[in-house]
Amino acid sequence: MERRRSSKMNIAIIHPDLGIGGAERLIVDAAVELSSHGHKVNVFTAHHDKSRCFEETLSGIFQVTEYGSFLPRHIFYRLHAVCAYIRCLFVALCVLLGWPSFDVILVDQVSVVIPLLKLRRSTKVVFYCHFPDLLLAEHTTALRRMYRKPIDIIEERTTGMADMILVNSNFTASTFANTFKHLHARGIRPAVLFPAVNVDQFKKPHACKSNFLSINRFERKKNIDLAISAFALLLKHNEKLGDVTLTVAGGYDERLRENVMYLEELRSLAEKEGVSNRVNFVTSCSTAERNELLSNCLCVLYTPTVEHFGIVPLEAMAAYKPVIACNSGGPVETVKTGVTGYLCNPTPEDFSSAMARFIENPDLTKTMGTEARKHVVGFFSTKAFGQRLNQFLIDVSAQKED
């Protein structure tokens, strides 16, 4: 006879760096929602900058513990993956040696810690895979391929050791199957848990200003160049747009060389395109500042291609704003083209054409924004996310009593 257990659990979450990106937003939402279900939640991380983090991490809703911030993120701007592995392994070791057993440990992004955590047989480990790291890393030279080969093997083998695997979209699920062929052959299938957005934080928007908004981390893979080039093309074809502007906002960390260099590249591009006087850059804005930017914009430009999910389109739509995004990856599953925004080819021509529709039809932002809000409330609220995650963790915890 199966022994009954309490539905209230002791849950740990391990995340590499608790900053202000989309992955961090998911982890914060997970911690908040699991806490609301009565579980005791502890978040462990290698870095938590209290001046650059989501407000909930400071609120006391759940406990945040930092281990290993002294460990390097890179060695002369190289070996990022190895350093990330070392930092996360140090966090996991501290959790094992310094804390009592947890019912479930939710591991985010870095799977190398899973074998270590499973030394405690009483604990179940759930791995959340945003996207296979081996597809995000560069394999451009023979030396890099030699460097990445053991890391890629470790990623697949340790991922397969989790008691449950979650992914952030159907697109990522299919990519997971095509990438980790050995796991797929063993019948290991991830479950889809869409990230969510707290719709209650967004109120009815102000009267829209003639401003387009791009929100993303200042990383080259986010393709923010597209927003600036499309904006320049829009102005070139519409000379009467005297008051139209573009705001480029997002996560920015001075410790990261790419962030610093890419921001300079974007500023140079704006100068080259002749639109620097109409492009405003906002680095590492707070949640309140981001919400204000959303409230005042015409629509949001989301420029990454083949993005595995993308939380920004959800935040924009929850704030009653339509989204122009690339017709690939996660946005295909979240943006209803022609209803809550437009899915476009990743070219300045296609993006500027979609942008022009909002200039030509002043009511389009309100009409699409209303539909966008309904769409997010119905399918991507944090409440729905929390209920689904809670059930996943209850199910995996119960497996050890079968």
Are 221 and 353 in the same domain? Answer: yes
Are 39 and 98 in the same domain? Answer: yes
Secondary structure in 3-state letters for the chain: CCCCCCCCCEEEEEECCCCCCHHHHHHHHHHHHHHHCCCEEEEEECCCCCCCCCHHHHCCCCEEEECCCCCCCCECCECHHHHHHHHHHHHHHHHHHHCCCCCEEEEECCHHHHHHHCCCCCCEEEEEECCCHHHHCCCCCHHHHHHHHHHHHHHHHHHCCCCEEEECCHHHHHHHHHHCHHHHHCCCCCEECCCCECHHHCCCCCCCCCEEEEECCCCHHHCCHHHHHHHHHHHHHCCCCCCCEEEEEECCCCCCHHHHHHHHHHHHHHHHHCCHHHEEEEECCCHHHHHHHHHHCCEEEECCCCCCCCCHHHHHHHCCCCEEEECCCCHHHHCCECCCEEEECCCHHHHHHHHHHHHHCCCHHHHHHHHHHHHHHHHCEHHHHHHHHHHHHHHHHHHHHC
Are 177 and 228 in the same domain? Answer: no
For position 137, what pLDDT does the model report? 63
Half-sphere exposure of 271 (CA within 13 A, CB side): 6
Pairing between β-strand 104-108 and β-strand 63-66 as defined by DSSP bridges = unpaired
Are 187 and 227 in the same domain? Answer: no
Angle at 306 between CA 305 and CA 311, to 5 degrees: 85
Owning domain of residue 137: 10-196+381-401
Are 204 and 336 in the same domain? Answer: yes
Which amino acid, one-letter code, is at 130?
A: H
- The total number of structural domains that make up the chain: 2
Are 187 and 272 in the same domain? Answer: no
Q: Which residues of 52-80 are buried (b: 16+ CB within 10 A; e: fewer)?
A: bbbebbeeeebebebbbeebebeeeeeee
For position 81, what pLDDT does the model report? 80
Spatial distance between the Cα atoms of 229 and 133, rounded to a whole number of angstroms:
29
CATH of residue 131's domain is: 3.40.50.2000
Are 367 and 225 in the same domain? Answer: yes
Q: Per the domain annotation, does 2 fall within a domain?
A: no
Are 351 and 256 in the same domain? Answer: yes
Kindly list the averaged pLDDT for each block of 10 residues, start to end, along the chain of length 402.
Answer: 60 92 88 96 95 90 94 82 90 94 93 94 92 66 76 90 94 90 92 91 78 94 96 86 90 87 96 94 88 93 91 94 95 96 97 95 93 94 92 88 46
Please state the φ and ψ torsions of residue 212, each to the nearest 5 degrees: -95, 150
Q: In whole angstroms, what separates CA 206 from the centre of its chain?
A: 27
For position 209, what pLDDT does the model report? 73
Which amino acid, one-letter code, is at 382?
A: T
Q: Per the domain annotation, does 31 fall within a domain?
A: yes
Are 320 and 309 in the same domain? Answer: yes
For position 2, what pLDDT does the model report? 39
For position 78, what pLDDT does the model report? 77
Are 394 and 306 in the same domain? Answer: no
Q: Per the domain annotation, does 4 fall within a domain?
A: no
